[in-house]
């Protein structure tokens, strides 16, 4: 979230890292926030989790990794990027990726 909020292309205006971290802290303290940390217990080289041949380029590597991590933790990847290839995640389905309505 901090990375997204500090991007120049973010539609609500760019925030400094300090502002973005403060926003995240406020969200975590709000009720009913439910935050669960997922340890990076997955490798991009795990061919039983990620089909590297289905990753089209550098911009998809992190998204596919996060989608696979979400699947491993019975979660979903929420993103505004409709080009994330869920097919690159073993056992992934279109429901793995959630694209919020703008």
Same domain, 23 and 58: no
- How many domains does the chain fold into? 2
- The domain of 67 spans 52-98
CA atoms within 13 A on the CB side of 19: 8
Could you tell me if 94 and 69 lie in one domain? yes
Q: Is residue 47 part of a domain?
A: no
How distant, in Å, are the alpha carbons of 15, 23, 37, 60, 89 from that of 26?
15, 5, 17, 30, 33
For residues 90 and 57, state if they share a domain: yes
Residue 89 to residue 64: CA distance in whole angstroms? 7
In a domain, 40, yes or no: no
This prediction's pTM: 0.73
Could you tell me if residue 62 is inside a domain? Answer: yes
Q: With respect to residue 6, please indicate whether it lies within any of the assigned structural domains.
A: yes
pLDDT tops 90 at residue 72? yes
Higher pLDDT, residue 72 or 5: 72
Over residues 1-25, the mean pLDDT reads: 82
pLDDT tens-digit readout, 20-64: 898 888 877 776 767 777 899 999 999 999 999 999 999 899 999
């Amino acid at each position: 979230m901090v990375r997204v909020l500090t991007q120049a292309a973010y539609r609500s205006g760019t925030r400094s890292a300090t502002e973005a971290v403060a926003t995240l802290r406020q969200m975590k303290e709000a009720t009913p926030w439910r935050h669960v940390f997922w340890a990076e217990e997955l490798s991009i080289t795990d061919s039983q989790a990620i089909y590297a041949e289905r990753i089209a380029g550098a911009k998809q590597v992190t998204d596919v990794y996060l989608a696979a991590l979400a699947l491993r933790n019975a979660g979903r990847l929420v993103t505004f990027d409709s080009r994330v290839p869920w097919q690159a995640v073993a056992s992934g389905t279109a429901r793995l990726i959630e694209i919020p309505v703008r």
